[in-house]
Structure 1
Amino acid sequence: MHVLATLDEDSYDGAAMENGRKDHPISWAQVYQGGRVWYTGRGHTHESFDEDAFIDHVLGGILWAGGFEEGDATGTVWNSYTKSQITSDIYEGMKVDTTPDGRVFFTDRISGSEDGNTGQAPVRVYDPESDEVSTALSLDVYAGQEDGLQGITFHPDFEDNGWVFIYYSPAEVEGDQPYNLLSRFTVDGDTIDPDSEAEIIRVHTQRETCCHVGGDIAFGPDGEELYLSTGDDTNPFESSGYTPIDERDGRESFDAQRTSANTNDLRGSILRIVPEDDGGYSIPDGNLFTGDEYADARDNGEVREEIYLMGCRNPFTIEVDEETGLLYYADYGPDAGSWNAERGPPGIVEFNVVSEPGFQGWPYFTGPNIPYQDYDFETGESSGAFDPENPINDSPNNTGLEELPPAEEASIFYGYGGSMDNLYNEVPGYAQEYVPDDNPWPEIEGGGAPMAGPVFRSEDGFGDNALPQYYDGKWFIMEWNQGWVKCVSFDDDGNVMEIEPFLPTEDYIGPQDMTVGPDGELYVLEFGAGFSDPSDPGLYVIEQTGGGEEDPEPEPEPEPEPEPEPAPVSIPYGLDSGSENHGQTATIGGLEFDKLPNEGVTQTGSHTITSLLEADGEFSIEGTDNDLLYKTEHYGQGIGYDIEVPNGTYDVTLHFAELWWGVEGRGGTDTGEGSRLFDVSIQGETVLSDYDIYAEVGSLTATTETVEGIEVTDGVLSISSTTQADNTKFSGIEIHQTDGEDQAGLDPAQTIRMDGSTRGGWEVTSSQDIAGETSPTLTLREGEEYTVTWTNADGAPHDFVVQDSSGGEVAGTDYVSDEGVETTLTFTASEEMAQYICTVHPSAMVGDIEIV
């Protein structure tokens, strides 16, 4: 069935359809058993029949259904499309474009065989005639941070000149300051001649710290003007997920005011230039700073004329409509999970449609021009919100004008994460005038990774498998995190009229880029799952291969035999969350932890894998001798697991470690407590509320929470979560069956936590059965590994030592004299162990150990 029109429920009172704001079809058509069916739900009032548009609607439907008018009724009939994989031989796919003869070229940021931060990155080509993929060019690139090989596009006169334009990070640069480079090459058959390189423009960058490259390329409709997107080249990980405007000495790379808000810098912008035939470029009229009002600024070296748009964060994908010349792009936002009245809004990302040059707002404003607070990283105080009508860049790192053009609102915006609730809840007073009462686009439910695709333009010369004319003028957009593709329709004034799903029956794993082929088919480049060394990447073609006619009702068939139920996991069971992409196995207490996929484990919610094993820098996990388990994780909004187990009673241990917030070079050392909050439920009962890993143990430190006596009566142990801030994450899960019979000894999977003081002795603070007891007997299972984390509670010198019956030390920690300091000891319980003691205060701080 093909939907012709939907209803805007904000346009009338009394709407009651469930999820009607998101999708309320009001007219549709279909071809069924050779006949045509047309329906409309409009016309309930007499006044409707006085409207010419409604009469045309009814007349057109009657004429089409009667066969008197032609028209397509297959646009949203998803069984008329096929999505076919061309290749999965991709490492970190970036961009894709096609030549007029139908060949498909695509880029890899790196090849996976780097030596340090440099290596070769390939441009590959797929030839539909031979159905083969080959390497057209390999470039020596710098691949640190997010640099490497990025965008590719072909000159509009490619059939005559064979020119292709490529944006990349050269491994070797001239001079002291590194740069990314836009160059022109010549295509020769299925290869690109490396000796034909002609430099067009250099964009100077820094290579000391992460991130944001941009790197997409597009030509305007006149075939002369080339657009190039550049990122803000600013580290976002030490500003608590809010705007990075750190003006302290030595923190230049943490201040986006020096790039995106700098009229004299090419970064954080979309540039517009005219490449010259002999290399280099010229400046077209109509850029942001080419007008007479900026003549003095040009003479004073305070502006760059190449800038068309400034105030972008990471405009990773751009498109230019060949018919209208409008610029379409997607821009990423920061990672904050909630409002902070002294800093600004939660993370917001944008889709934008631009008809003229301007300032897009970053790093001062986001979305509908919601201002950030002018936060002083030195004092930790804010001096007020920025003004979108009169933005001022007074950063000491600014080399351009202080007074900037007024900021432009985003065309479409939505919240970082799995829902929009964080954006519209608890809005501080200063920002309420900028935040709509309701989500303007309920069709989008959050995500955080927008990707701009093409504006589809239907042509008479397209092939038989082209997308139908229904999509003419619609803008394809993608969401990398959430894995969807949608289409945006605009009214005559350029306002967003509708956002609708495209081919939702298919899976998209990290949709990265998209282009329309010369025959009207769609090519989609999917990055795959995971941020580095992704799994399941691919290049795909989407074609309309069927007529979209509904199949007649089939004859009843015998009911198939039910498929066998998934086999329960073996108990005891351990799951190493996020370990799918590496070959090592985590083992704790003799239990080997499983890797997914496992038919007995179903992931609920949208899980993303992250790992420290491939991260830049070396990281170790404190509080455990088995840090492999804690170096990988699943994270996401409201994620969980349904695990097939035999009916019975279980103890469930959840393993966590904070790998992002509070970590230098990642979430930043000025972040931490409150940055991540989530609830965990087991069998529908909440067992952890507002859980904050960082508040429990800090960053890069293992911690566990054990819930005992979980009853399973339906064969499924269900673990679910509700995310309050940022994302839920799990490092691992451990399941032991008890069936109501207490196993002797403390559970080795749960950390024993104590406060140590001369007055209070060893007071147990963990959730074991001995919680609240002072210097209790520790009953330990022989051969099991235990972890004791103790806190100096009085500032006196203490250590924690396990001794044998003769007073000899079996295991122990160093002395700690500072109040509040935590120290961890991990040991394997053995028969010789008799007591634990503080050797400085042996009479006040001592307890027995019993081995079972």
Structure 2
Amino acid sequence: MMFRKVTSAALLGMLWTSASPAADSAAVPSDDHFRVETLVSGLVDAMEIAPLPDGRVLIAERTGALKLYTPGEQGARTVHHFEVSVRNEKAGTSRETGLLGVTADPDFSQNGWIYCYYSPQEPSEHWLTRWTLKNGRLEDEKVLLTMEQSREVGVCHEGGSLAFDGAGNLFLSTGDNTNPFKSNGYAPLDEREGNESINSQRTAGNTNDLRGKVLRITPTDDGSYTIPEGNLFPPGTEKTRPEIYAMGCRNPWRIGVDQRTNTLYWGDVGPDARKTTSRGPNGYCEINQAATAGYYGWPYFVGANEAYARYDFAAEKVGEKFDPAKPLNESRLNDGLEQLPPAREPFWFVSRSSYCAGPVYYHDDFREAESKLPPALDRCLITYDWNNGHMQLSKLAEDESLLWKTDWLHSKKFVHPSDVELAADGSLYILEYGSKWYDGTDGKLKRVTYSSEPLQSEPEEADPRLAGISSDHPGYGLLAEAICLSCHQTQEKSIGPSYAEVAMKYRGDEQAVDLLAKKISQGGVGVWGEVPMPPNPQYNEEQLSQMVDAILSLAPEEHTE
């Protein structure tokens, strides 16, 4: 799916690959120096934003609405509604498709151009298009790029993030468009006839396919594009697509581009494997850095180039592991090159999370701005975890290596952040997807500003996903920080059952606490559907009991006559 797992703080620290927070990170002001205000509420599956030079903000909703927030006005109004594919009506299931991305042209003030990436109802494709925003409406659509898209039940990972670099090149992230639920959390390499959608070698590992990539093109005035120098394959290279900049991506859901160096960053959501076996490693989520074009491993490697093994899905037989120095795509579904470039390791990686890449902040770029962030954030890459809402700062050296990393705004509450962008005035916009997996109506656009003096503490915002559980319950805080809120909430079904449904199912069951505590700790699949529940081994018995008790408190008391 779009988003995945979380891990314990101890394991997280072990997996950060370059540095841990050092003395410099202590200069980052405490959270009480930052004000978070809500600008827009009631957004539906809020995906990506495009701050405009005049202070307005475009907001893309997955269900098709492109909205415009204007400072001083209440809410955001719809400037266009895209007719998009968001559901498989025959199967009655939602898809990770729709209006996925939006960004503004670098010369928007002169030309009014914006770029959108969306899934039309027909044909089964994704489209990258350019529009003109004029008089509060979109006009003059020009289709720059189309790509094939499988819409079978269970297929997901669509990417869709858009960003320009400082040289006028447009980056677009695309997912591997593969079913991840039939591979037990390991690499989807199923070669059997009829199971093509369970094989990411046809997309992410294919040099002749645009899926599972980050593309880089240079838009032209006539609505087409050219290929900039330095992409992975020069134009005319046999069995390749010249648009490819980075390949070997699973689901590069959100990207960021350093506006000074033009270096690309993206978070790649990791697979669901709960432990390392002969088939391959435990699932990792990556933050990747690409100053030049390259291959980033999927579906043959993940994390620090830990290799998957060849696997016969019919015989359930494990074969030899792939070689990151000489990766080969020998799949019958591959119409690209067999020999792939050497696999690159990520900038940093963690287990069980859904980290996304945001902007790189340069204090000098906003020295005269009214609402600039503090100088301690200079040369920091801002990243954020969709799962638990945590923000992070990664301090970059002059050579763009990692100096230190630290949590940021940890005391603030962000419900599934889906995009983070710098505004022209130096403040920071944070878009919240909302509490439900699909069709939620509580997404928000928030703005973060800095104060040199500590601010009066604000009342803590209640988490809508935990409505009905007392905030005084010892399990409340544990659930609020847990991966569980990626797939569950208390009152409504999301990708998983509501906690209220779980409470009713196990009401009166004397074994419920032990059974559910084991499920939270070890994970599982099949009780409520095919979406796997990841394990949470970081909790002790007391914590697990408190979490389960908080969930079971949602069931009404049984009365006997």
- Fold-level similarity (TM above 0.5): yes
CA displacement at 1:629 relative to structure 2: 2.8
SS at match of 2:414: coil
Whole-angstrom CA distance in 1 between matches of 2:545 and 2:350: 28
Structure 2 unaligned regions, length at least 5:
1-18, 88-94, 457-462
2:356 paired residue among 448, 451, 454: 451
| Contact 1:109-1:148 at 8 Å conserved across structures | yes
Compared with structure 1, are the counterparts of its residues 410 and 598 closer, same or farther at alpha carbon in structure 2 (3 Å cutoff)? Answer: same
Q: How is 1:369-448 mapped onto 2 (pairs within 5 angstroms)?
A: 369-416=305-352, 448=353
Displacement of 1:653 after TM fit?
A: 4.0
**In the TM superposition, what are the counterparts of 1:104-115 in structure 2 within 5 Å?**
104-110=57-63
1:221 deviates by 1.0
Say whether 1:485 aligns with 2:391.
yes
1:503 corresponding residue in structure 2: 409
Q: Residue type matched to 1:358 in 2? A: G
In structure 2, C-alpha distance between the alignment counterparts of 1:276 and 1:665, rounded to whole Å:
47
Pick the aligned partner of 1:95 from 48, 51, 60: 48
CA change 1:628–1:163 in 2 (3 A) is same
Q: Are the equivalent residues in 1 in contact too, given 2:102–2:116 (CA < 8 A)?
A: yes
Q: Give the alignment of 1:79-228 within 5 angstroms.
A: 79-110=32-63, 121-144=64-87, 145-173=95-123, 178-193=124-139, 196-209=140-153, 210-223=155-168, 225-228=169-172
State whether structure 2 residue 267 is matched by structure 1 residue 267: no
When residues 736 and 165 of structure 1 are mapped into structure 2, their CA distance, relative to the original with a 3 A threshold, is closer
Where 1:603 maps in the other structure, the secondary structure is: helix
The reply on whether 1:355 has 2:233 as its aligned counterpart is no
| Partner residue in 2 for 1:425 | none
TM-score, with normalisation over the residues of structure 1? 0.55
Equivalent-residue separation in structure 2 for 1:101 and 1:550 (angstroms): 28
1:693 equivalent in structure 2 = none
Q: Sort the Cα spacing of 1:579 and 1:529 in 2 relative to 1 into closer, same or farther, 3 A.
A: closer
**How far 1:730 sits from its partner (Å)?**
9.2
Distance 1:679 1:457 in 2: 36
Do the aligned residues in 1 keep the contact of 2:102 with 2:117 (CA within 8 Å)? Answer: yes
- TM-score by length of structure 2 reads 0.82
Contact residue 463 and residue 519 of structure 1 kept, 8 A? yes
CA distance in 1 between partners of 2:290 and 2:25 (Å): 31
Partner residue in 2 for 1:822: none
Alignment partners' CA distance in 2, 1:186 and 1:466: 30
Which aligned pairs between 1:638-717 and structure 2 lie closer than 5 A? 653-654=512-513, 661-662=525-526, 666-667=530-531, 684=542
Shift of 1:735: 9.5
Q: Deviations over 1:27-54 (max 9, x none)?
A: 977xxxxxxxxxxxxxxxxxxxxxxxxx
More helix by share: 2
**Equivalent residue for 2:269?**
332
SS of the residue 1:136 aligns to: strand
CA distance in 1 between counterparts of 2:193 and 2:528 reads: 18
Give yes or no for contact 1:629–1:731 (8 Å, CA) kept in 2: no
C-alpha separation in 1, matches of 2:381 and 2:402: 10
User: Cα distance 1:368–1:26, how it changes in 2: closer, same or farther (>3 A)?
Assistant: closer
Query: Which structure carries more relative contact order (alpha carbon 8 Å, separation 6+)?
Result: 2
Counterpart AA for 2:281: P
- What SS does the corresponding residue of 1:237 show, helix, strand or coil? coil
1:255 alignment counterpart? 199
User: Residue 613 and residue 240 in structure 1: after superposition, are their counterparts in 2 closer, same or farther (change >3 A)?
Assistant: farther
The answer (yes or no) to whether the contact 2:43–2:442 under 8 Å persists in 1 is no
Aligned to 1:472: 378
Q: Distance in 1 between matches of 2:380 and 2:538?
A: 40
Q: Once the 2 structures are TM-superposed, how far is the Cα of residue 502 of structure 1 from its aligned partner?
A: 2.2
Q: SS where residue 94 of structure 1 aligns?
A: strand
Distance in 2 between the 1:549 and 1:681 partners? Answer: 36
Q: Which amino acid aligns with 1:484?
A: H
**In 2 relative to 1, CA 286–538 (structure 1 residues): closer, same or farther, beyond 3 Å?**
same
Please identify the structure whose Cα radius of gyration is greater: 1
Paired position in structure 2 for 1:842: none
Cα distance between partner residues in 2 of 1:189 and 1:129: 18
Contact kept in structure 2, 1:629 and 1:732, CA below 8 Å: no
CA shift for structure 1 position 680: 9.0
Shift of 1:503: 2.4
Letter in 1 for 2:251: N
Structure 1 residues not aligned, in runs of 5+: 1-20, 30-74, 111-120, 417-447, 552-577, 582-594, 622-626, 635-649, 687-717, 722-727, 738-748, 750-780, 784-852
More strand as a share of residues: 1
User: Relative to structure 1, is the Cα distance of residues 468 and 190 closer, same or farther in structure 2, using a 3 angstrom cutoff?
Assistant: farther
Map 1:282-293 → 2, pairs under 5 A: 282-290=226-234
Q: CA deviation at 1:484?
A: 1.1
Q: Distance in 1 between matches of 2:470 and 2:550?
A: 17
Q: CA deviation at 1:500?
A: 1.9
- Residues of 2 paired with 1:204 and 1:488: CA distance? 35
d(CA) in 1 for partners of 2:243 and 2:321?
30
Contact 2:227 2:242 in 1 (8 A): yes
Q: Measure the CA separation in 2 of the matches of 1:332 and 1:529.
A: 19
Q: Is the 8 A contact 2:503 2:552 kept in 1?
A: no
Q: What residue in structure 1 maps to residue 5 of structure 2?
A: none
On the 8 A contact 2:270/2:283 being kept in 1, the answer is: yes
Q: Within 2, Cα distance between the matches of 1:252 and 1:170? A: 23
Structure-2 separation of matches of 1:130 and 1:536: 19
Give a deviation string over 1:55-86, Cα, whole Å, max 9, x none: xxxxxxxxxxxxxxxxxxxx514333211000
1:579·1:632 contact (CA, 8 Å) conserved in 2? no
8 Å Cα contact 2:116/2:130 also seen in 1 = yes
Shift of 1:134: 1.2
Q: 1:279 aligns with which of 223, 230, 245?
A: 223
Q: Which residue of 2 aligns with 1:719?
A: 545
Cα separation, partners in 2 of 1:599 and 1:231, compared to 1, 3 Å: closer
Whether the 8 Å contact between 1:521 and 1:541 is mirrored in structure 2 is yes
**C-alpha distance in 2 between matches for 1:550 and 1:140:** 44
Q: Does 1:532 align with 2:438?
A: yes
CA contact under 8 A between 2:233 and 2:241: conserved in structure 1?
yes
Query: 1:272 is aligned with what amino acid?
Result: R
Q: Identify the residue that residue 476 of structure 2 maps to in structure 1.
A: 603
What's the Cα RMSD here? Answer: 3.6
The match for 1:230 among 168, 174, 178 is 174
Answer whether contact 1:183 1:201 (CA < 8 A) is retained.
yes
Check whether the contact 1:93–1:526 (CA below 8 A) recurs between aligned residues.
yes
8 Å CA contact 1:512–1:525 kept in 2: the answer is: yes
CA distance in 1, matches of 2:420, 2:505: 30
Contact 2:488 2:494 in 1 (8 A): no
Deviations 1:435-470 (A, max 9, x none): xxxxxxxxxxxxx11111111123256432211233
Residue 25 of structure 1, CA deviation: 3.9
Over residues 564-599 of structure 1, what are the superposed CA-to-partner deviations in whole Å (9 max), with x where a residue is unaligned? xxxxxxxxxxxxxx9969xxxxxxxxxxxxx72335
For 1:729 and 1:398, how far apart are their aligned partners in 2? 50
- Residues 87-119 of structure 1, C-alpha deviation per residue, up to 9 Å, x if partnerless? 112011100111111111111101xxxxxxxxx
